[in-house]
């Protein structure tokens, strides 16, 4: 491998000749050979957005000339287009402020820009990082990446799954089945009503996620090192936030209190809490589906789901609810990520949180996993759910909790005696009620209509 020599305030460093990063990136590579987790590409792209926005703001405020603005913007566009993917190699497990990743982006933009210009035009600190600090750029990149990934990746998959359940409701109108509480028989419910509960969970989760984005739309950019805005010109924060909005199409604004924006990660904790709520709902839905599909002969068997692959290496013909299992594993991971994010956000001291890389890594992983699992669940499971009407009706007729319909006529206590007799003697509710003398057969038939109980 060929190398070139780069310099920073600590001296000279050898850098691979085919890479645009500089000395500080190389030092981080050498000092943090930890794990396989890299700073997510979504964060790098968010950095490209904010670096371009900062350059435009600096230009409009008279601090950066047109030529340098042009090359910074050109390289940022290349990053956004995915053309420089191999130039951002740093680990999540680096400095807690994300300083080296900020400098990684600064160095790549400067070196690539100088190559395009054919001269030494850009300095990573003096020009690309103008009016900025790692302490305000990294939290800004976190918020940009979080908002864009939620809006562009998560919400479309959530909406697609919600729409599928809405269609499933319509397809199953009029089917009455036994309800269940505490894993025990309960009063009847329409299958469409049960599905509406699943749909409602997703709609409520969507509302909570959208509400949580407001805090993430506030940007720390302009706070510089400790929140005072040192070395940033007046109006830079507002101008930069406006440019971020223009580039992304989202509605970002500058944080009113930069001291809060640099040191607190409460907005991302709150937003991930909404993701955890979605994970909890998906866990519940997936568990319901696999319970209802259990069997095929010794379980509930009230629905069938697609048979996607063989389920056993020893039991021929066995098929398992693998999509449900995948969803529930994702939910567990998201809940674990929530604990890590919450604990990390409680750390740091004075004017800075120094757990930011692990926070955004876990947040973006949750978004990615939830989006992918919902897409897979909808495609390979939910769209293939079919009601087993025969089994539903059979279970409904055998449910002892249909006795609830008799309570207004014979009273709660007598209804309980009827249910117990029917269960103990393995006879129908009608046979038990008539044998006990609570109602005659004709009256029982007049008042007992399970399909109307839903």
Domain ranges of the chain: 9-38+65-129, 146-174+190-217+256-390, 399-453
4's torsion region: left (phi>0), alpha (psi -120 to 50) or beta? beta
Active site residue 196: no
Q: Could you tell me which residues come within 8 angstroms of residue 175 by beta carbon, excluding any fewer than 6 positions away?
A: 190, 191, 192, 387, 389, 392
Nearest alpha-carbon partner for 449 in 223, 105, 133, 176: 176
CATH 1.50.10.20 fits 399-453, yes or no: no
Nearest alpha-carbon partner for 293 in 212, 392, 359: 392
Cis? peptide before 296, omega within 30° of 0: yes
Q: Is pLDDT at 114 greater than 90 in this prediction?
A: yes
pLDDT given for residue 276 in this prediction:
98
Using a cut of 0.85, tell me whether the model's pTM lies above it: yes
Nearest alpha-carbon partner for 103 in 215, 26, 17, 45: 26
Question: Cα Rg for the chain, rounded, in angstroms?
Answer: 30
pLDDT given for residue 60 in this prediction:
98
Ramachandran angles phi, psi of 437, nearest 5°? 80, 15
% of the chain residues with pLDDT over 70: 100
Collapse the DSSP code of 441 into the 3-class scheme (helix H, G, I; strand E, B; otherwise coil) and give the result: helix
> Among the options 9, 73, 133, 182, which is catalytic?
182
- Can you tell me the mean pLDDT for 119-146? 98
Nearest alpha-carbon partner for 39 in 17, 14, 21: 21
Q: How far is Cα 250 from Cα 21, in angstroms, rounded to an integer?
A: 30
Average pLDDT, the chain: 97
| Beta-bridge partner residues of 201 | none
> Among the options 9, 87, 272, 312, which is catalytic?
312
pLDDT given for residue 54 in this prediction:
99
Give the pLDDT band of residue 377 (cuts 50, 70, 90): very high
Q: Is pLDDT at 177 greater than 90 in this prediction?
A: yes
Active site residue 87: no
Residue 264, token pair as written in the block: 């607190």
Q: Is pLDDT at 289 greater than 90 in this prediction?
A: yes
- Can you tell me the mean pLDDT for 120-124? 98
- Can you tell me the mean pLDDT for 239-260? 98
Pairing of strands 218-219, 253-254: parallel
Which residue is listed with tokens 């839905």?
A: 285
Whether residue 194 contacts residue 176, with contact meaning beta carbons closer than 8 Å, is answered with no
Angle at 18 (CA atoms; ends 17, 19), nearest 5 degrees: 95
CATH 1.10.275.10 fits 9-38+65-129, yes or no: yes
Q: Which residue has the higher pLDDT, 348 or 79?
A: 79
Collapse the DSSP code of 87 into the 3-class scheme (helix H, G, I; strand E, B; otherwise coil) and give the result: helix
pLDDT given for residue 451 in this prediction:
86
- Can you tell me the mean pLDDT for 406-423? 97
Please state which of the ranges 56-65, 109-118, 156-165, 444-453 shows the lowest mean pLDDT. 444-453
Nearest alpha-carbon partner for 108 in 95, 132, 90: 90
CATH class of 146-174+190-217+256-390: mainly alpha
Residue 144, token pair as written in the block: 């940009």
pLDDT digits (tens, 9 = 90+) for 21-40: 999 999 999 999 999 999 99
């Amino acid at each position: 491998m060929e190398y070139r020599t780069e310099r920073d305030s600590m001296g000279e460093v050898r850098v691979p000749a085919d890479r645009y990063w500089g000395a500080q990136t190389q030092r981080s590579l050498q000092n943090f050979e930890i794990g396989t987790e890299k700073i997510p590409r979504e964060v790098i792209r968010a950095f490209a957005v904010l670096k371009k926005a900062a350059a435009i703001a600096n230009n409009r405020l008279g601090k950066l000339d047109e030529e340098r603005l042009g090359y910074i913007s050109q390289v940022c566009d290349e990053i956004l287009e995915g053309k420089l993917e191999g130039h951002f190699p740093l680990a999540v497990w680096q400095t807690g402020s994300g300083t080296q990743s900020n400098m990684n982006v600064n160095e790549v933009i400067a070196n690539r820009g100088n190559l395009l210009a054919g001269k030494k035009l850009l300095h990573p600190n003096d020009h690309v990082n103008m009016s900025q600090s790692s302490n305000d750029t990294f939290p800004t990149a976190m918020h940009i990446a979080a908002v864009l990934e939620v809006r562009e990746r998560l919400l479309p998959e959530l909406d697609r799954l919600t729409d599928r359940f809405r269609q499933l409701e319509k397809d199953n109108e009029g089917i009455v089945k036994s309800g269940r509480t505490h894993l025990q028989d309960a009063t009847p419910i329409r299958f469409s009503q049960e599905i509406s509960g699943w749909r409602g969970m997703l709609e409520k989760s969507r509302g909570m996620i959208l509400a949580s984005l407001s805090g993430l739309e506030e940007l720390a950019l302009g706070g510089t090192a400790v929140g005072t805005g040192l070395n940033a010109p007046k109006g830079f924060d507002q101008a930069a936030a406006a440019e971020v909005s223009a580039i992304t199409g989202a509605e970002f604004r500058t944080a009113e209190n930069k001291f809060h924006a640099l040191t607190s990660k409460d907005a991302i904790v709150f937003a991930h809490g909404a993701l955890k709520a979605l994970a909890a709902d998906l866990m519940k839905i997936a568990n319901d589906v696999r319970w209802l599909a259990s069997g095929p002969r010794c379980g509930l068997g009230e629905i069938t789901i697609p048979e996607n692959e063989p389920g056993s290496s020893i039991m021929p013909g066995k098929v398992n609810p693998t999509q449900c299992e995948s969803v529930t594993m994702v939910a567990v991971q998201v809940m674990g990520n929530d604990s890590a994010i919450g604990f990390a956000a409680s750390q740091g001291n004075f004017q800075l949180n120094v757990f930011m890389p692990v926070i955004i890594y876990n947040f973006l992983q949750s978004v990615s996993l939830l989006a992918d699992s919902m897409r897979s669940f909808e495609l390979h499971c939910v769209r293939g759910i079919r009601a087993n009407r025969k089994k539903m009706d059979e279970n409904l007729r055998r449910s002892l909790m249909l006795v609830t319909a008799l309570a207004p006529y014979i009273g709660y206590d007598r209804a309980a005696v009827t249910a117990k007799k029917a269960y103990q003697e393995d006879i129908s509710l009608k046979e038990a009620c008539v044998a006990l003398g609570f109602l005659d057969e004709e009256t029982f038939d007049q008042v007992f209509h399970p399909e109307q109980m839903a």
